[in-house]
Structure 1
């Protein structure tokens, strides 16, 4: 029968010697100088000070109002894109998505959509050139992308429940884009 050995005897001496050796080996060095915030004395880079705050560009109440009377808006995901569940939207629950690509361009968006086989139409929203984007054979979703007021491109997508009776999703996506562009004026 095999016996399990504990750390008694010589094993305990070896472990104790290893602990002493590590402690004496410089794990507690003191570094001269004074603590500085990350970046030292350089000016703070404010380009990232609003990271993920683009999800707050419109309030849940404003998003709901653009979709329809009595629509409840719940945060679904905030990360690379912002997503909201639209509870009680016409035709049943739906989803709104906001994206902002700070280095994007409308021409790049149009090329990408064309590669994906999406239908892209030039439109004007608040006197700004924009793209209306539809997936082929998908009357339940629509996106509108425009140049962001400061940098890049911003886009809104509305996705209604497939097969439900609902208004044209491009109307709601366009309304959300109008509201967003109005904020910059």
Structure 2
């Protein structure tokens, strides 16, 4: 299973994972209760849902386990990292698609007012103050030109700044 991992396990990575494992191994018996692993996964992986977590357990052959040891923990974290990355990319693609419907000329730009209307109505609602702050950020990061928003650049900026994989520091 470790050979399927898309990451490089360095000594430092293994050391960091061992340290994290020890934090959750409160009985110091070399295993972590699956209930604690589940809570950890749901708190660290954005957009993780029951179906995704069940598939991760199935993929790692850990369904039905009451507790996991360190090697199983490494495989599980790696698989969660991959799931997290795919979930983030799905959200990014979905967001670009929402904006592209308003880009009738396929230029990569939409009208600023249209962009704000989308941002205020889709997903989590933005207040007027948050909308004003968003415009300031768009201008500061060069996403606005002639009152049009480069939505691909905006989405890329989101990815670069806030949608980082919670496990990225473990893997090279």
Larger radius of gyration: 1
TM-score under structure 1 length normalisation = 0.23
If each structure's strand is expressed as a fraction of its own residues, which one has the higher value? 1
Task: Indicate the structure with greater helix content.
Answer: 2
Give the TM-score taking structure 2 as reference length.
0.24
Select the structure with the greater relative contact order (CA < 8 A; seq sep ≥ 6).
Answer: 2
